[in-house]
Structure 1
Amino acid sequence: MRIQDKYKAKTKPSSAAGGEGNTNPTPAPVVSIHACVESGDLTGVQRLITQDPSSLNQRSVFLIQTPLHVAAGHNRIDILKFLLEWKGSVTLELEANNVYGETPLHEAAKNGFTDAVATLLQHGANIEARTNNSMTPLHLAVGYALTSGDNSVVKTLYEYKADFSAEDDEGMIPFNYLPSGVENDELRLLCQIVEEPKDYEEECGMKGKMDEFNLELSKIVGLDELKAQLRKWAKGMLLDEKRRAMGVDLGPRKAPHMAFLGNPGTGKTTVARILGKLLCSLGVLSSERVTEVQRSDLVGEFLGQTGPKTRKKIEEAMGGILFVDEAYRLTPTDSGNSIEYGVEALEEIMSVLEDGDLLVIFAGYTEPMRRVFSSNAGFCRRVTHFFQFDDFSCRELAEMAMIKMSERDERSRLFGFRLGSCCGVEAVASVIERKTSEAMRSRMNGGLVDHMLNNARESLDCRLSFEAKGDELLTIKLGDLEAGLDHLVRRLNLDEVKV
């Protein structure tokens, strides 16, 4: 046979590949090993690992998880056993850490999967493995038990001799995470195997409140200096409660009135809600409710209307927090447009700052807020805590986008949608930096992320045809995010022209 004939014989299409004359058969869609594990497709997992043994420890894009993490976190016991018992050329990473420092055992424990926990321990998983914040699987199992009422994982870890005295970064042992009065006697007995001092319940209550406060702060992206300042302040408040319990007379509890300084979208309202929970738990406030008001909610159109209008809002907020947004709009400016009404509203608020069961937070841009400080002689005497909220960096905005897309809030327009594999933190941060100006990011901060994601979904709809199906209907790509930011920039430019 001639060389030319051999070549033709090799390249001739077969009928099985798509019929005679079909030289471009449609390739089968590529399915990731993580998707196979999550869906419970054992056959698919076996095929992929046999074809490429390195996929045994392949990492996912965002959470840096291995297939073993996914199997443990979704209770895929048959796949879990297959991975643990794999005898191929590649060795399974039993103690692999994801982006949070969690091992597969952490994943199983925090999701309450007793069978997966037991299977991993039977195959030698480290029961005392630590996350980035030094939590053991037992810490996470206690957290799951508190929310679900299911103590089975805690009992399993107890049977495997887990260390109930292990401390995390905050010095908290698993028992510390049990709120006082928790209605789960079995869980409390399990966790109390560590001998505690007589005054432990009181100390646990203090530490528990501090830990809950820290947990809420940890959900906020960035703002590290602010968080450190708030933690220092909160710890002082908690220690004062302990001093009072010792009989020290510190005078009556007074609400610590505050000023939040920074640009819009930097988390001021979110932090106010976290503070409301803490102060309510300490008895400083009777409610954790936050009542948000602006100038239009307080100032009347005509003489004599502002006082009653402001007092009504104060009465609504009593017991909780009155959050005065853009508070500088209540003070005089060079324009002099009916500004005396704003001053009247501010004076009404200042008059109740000594009354007790009300915390007032004045919020706004840093420089204009200086007018508020100087407009009332008693302002800086009554408002004693000042917190600066810095702008978010491009990377922090990208991290915020990842969190919003992973929360899966059913009320969100983005529920069910996901970011494509190309949309890593660095890639999204780069797009934000290229497509937006520093002035625009400073003006919007977290609000920019919401607009970008919602516009990206609309870009996805424009890009797809009616023949689209499957994952492509739900996957937002990097180009969609770019288009979303382009649309936002054009709209803002138009708004500025109108002004």
Structure 2
Amino acid sequence: MSIFLCDSYYEDVPTLDEVKHEISDIVGLREVKNQLETILEKIIDAEKDASDGFRVVPPKPFHMVFVGNNGTGKSTVARVLGKLFYLSGALSSYTVTEMQGNQKMKGAEGGVLLVNIDEEDPINPKTVDKIISAMDEGDSSIIFAGNQRALNQYMKFNNELYKRFSARLQFDDLTCEELAMILQKKANKKGEDNLMCGFEFDASCSTENITQIIAEIVPGNLSSILNAHLLDQMLIEAKKVADKRGEKIIYLRDLGIGIQNGAQIYKSLLNF
């Protein structure tokens, strides 16, 4: 079951320093971060070799499988990979285009095509053929993403597709502490277009306290289905509580109510 979908991500032209910061800013996913850092170091080494006069041959783009539930960071990592492949010279674009598996084939424009696999929405065979052709052309990097069951079920009947993947990354569910850390990062972001614009957390909203509230209020099965996708609605609900009071400070009690109300909204949405 896929709930969230975005067609394309367009960002500013990346630099190695910016991508390095993005990788370090990812919460959890230790093994995935290690692999991203390895790719980053190879790019840095290649740039050094080029500056020293050595001939550097850009790597070829490769195709990957991302295994994990909703909200575990698959789209975030796809965007980082797109930038890394672009900076290495493997891809001509750093744009990430995202599509649902049952949609008409989208062009990746020389960047990354992220295909979300859903058990309830199988890919049309004609679309599979077009994806395989795109993989063989080698102008783009194709990433298939979904939970373990959906991917296993799909790949079992699509060997021609499966054998074209070169790497598999595992995205584990986020712990309550990791969800708390992401919640704090969202709250600390500045800018008019940020979710928390004009609002800020009180000092009582520590990682430890937020972790405890999430553990007590959010059902484990709901958290494993949505992970970080839960958090925006929880912040919106917490802001409503503070706003009713006529304040821009979100106290721990406000956040607790926001977390509870946000969880209830998704429980109702998913018929829990």
TM-score normalised by structure 1 residue count: 0.47
Distance 1:413 1:318 in 2: 30
CA shift for structure 1 position 212: 4.6
SS in 2 for 1:360: strand
Q: Which moved more, 1:358-367 or 1:223-232?
A: 223-232
CA shift for structure 1 position 234: 4.3
2:80 is the counterpart of 1:274: yes
Alignment correspondent of 1:448: 230
Distance 1:326 1:215 in 2: 29
2:255 is the counterpart of 1:481: yes
The answer to whether the Cα contact below 8 Å between 1:329 and 1:342 also exists between their aligned partners in 2 is no
CA shift for structure 1 position 292: 1.0
2:110 is the counterpart of 1:287: no
Residues 492/448 of structure 1: CA separation in 2 closer, same or farther (3 Å cut): closer
Alignment correspondent of 2:70: 264
Distance 2:195 2:91 in 1: 35
Dislocated runs of 4+, deviation >4 Å:
236-248, 327-331
Kindly name which structure, 1 or 2, has the bigger radius of gyration based on alpha carbons. Answer: 1
2:109 is the counterpart of 1:318: yes
CA shift for structure 1 position 367: 2.1
Residues 257/415 of structure 1: CA separation in 2 closer, same or farther (3 Å cut): same
Matches within 5 A, 1:137-152: none
Q: Tell me which amino acid in the other structure corresponds to 1:220.
A: I
Alignment correspondent of 2:10: none
SS in 1 for 2:136: coil
The answer to whether the Cα contact below 8 Å between 1:295 and 1:329 also exists between their aligned partners in 2 is no
The correspondence for 1:373, drawn from 148, 155, 163, is: 155
Distance 2:55 2:243 in 1: 65
Where relative contact order (Cα < 8 A, 6+ residues apart) is larger, the structure is 2
Alignment correspondent of 1:348: 130
Alignment correspondent of 1:427: 209
The answer to whether the Cα contact below 8 Å between 2:186 and 2:195 also exists between their aligned partners in 1 is no
Residues 376/238 of structure 1: CA separation in 2 closer, same or farther (3 Å cut): farther
Q: Which structure has more strand as a fraction of its residues?
A: 2
Distance 2:48 2:63 in 1: 22
The answer to whether the Cα contact below 8 Å between 1:266 and 1:390 also exists between their aligned partners in 2 is yes
2:201 is the counterpart of 1:395: no
Alignment correspondent of 2:266: 492
CA shift for structure 1 position 344: 2.4
Q: Tell me which amino acid in the other structure corresponds to 2:179.
A: L
Alignment correspondent of 1:382: 164
CA shift for structure 1 position 369: 0.6
SS in 1 for 2:204: coil
Distance 1:399 1:494 in 2: 26
Q: CA offsets, 1:215-273, max 9 Å, x none?
A: 2201111111211122234445665787897458x7x8421111111011111111111
Distance 2:18 2:270 in 1: 43
Matches within 5 A, 1:107-118: none
Unmatched tracts of structure 2, length 5 or more:
1-13
Q: Tell me which amino acid in the other structure corresponds to 2:253.
A: G
CA shift for structure 1 position 476: 0.7
SS in 2 for 1:352: helix
Distance 2:165 2:92 in 1: 20
Q: Tell me which amino acid in the other structure corresponds to 1:223.
A: L
Alignment correspondent of 2:20: 214
The answer to whether the Cα contact below 8 Å between 2:59 and 2:88 also exists between their aligned partners in 1 is no
Distance 2:165 2:224 in 1: 26
SS in 2 for 1:361: strand
Distance 1:224 1:291 in 2: 25
SS in 2 for 1:322: strand
CA RMSD after TM alignment: 2.7
Distance 2:42 2:119 in 1: 29
Residues 234/347 of structure 1: CA separation in 2 closer, same or farther (3 Å cut): farther
The answer to whether the Cα contact below 8 Å between 1:397 and 1:429 also exists between their aligned partners in 2 is yes
The answer to whether the Cα contact below 8 Å between 2:68 and 2:146 also exists between their aligned partners in 1 is yes
The answer to whether the Cα contact below 8 Å between 2:63 and 2:167 also exists between their aligned partners in 1 is yes
SS in 1 for 2:20: helix
Residues 385/233 of structure 1: CA separation in 2 closer, same or farther (3 Å cut): farther
The answer to whether the Cα contact below 8 Å between 1:259 and 1:386 also exists between their aligned partners in 2 is yes
Alignment correspondent of 1:224: 30
Q: What is the total number of aligned residue pairs between the two structures? A: 257
Percent same amino acid at aligned positions? 34
Residues 394/400 of structure 1: CA separation in 2 closer, same or farther (3 Å cut): same
Q: CA offsets, 1:425-463, max 9 Å, x none?
A: 11111111111121111112111221111111112234x
The answer to whether the Cα contact below 8 Å between 2:43 and 2:87 also exists between their aligned partners in 1 is no
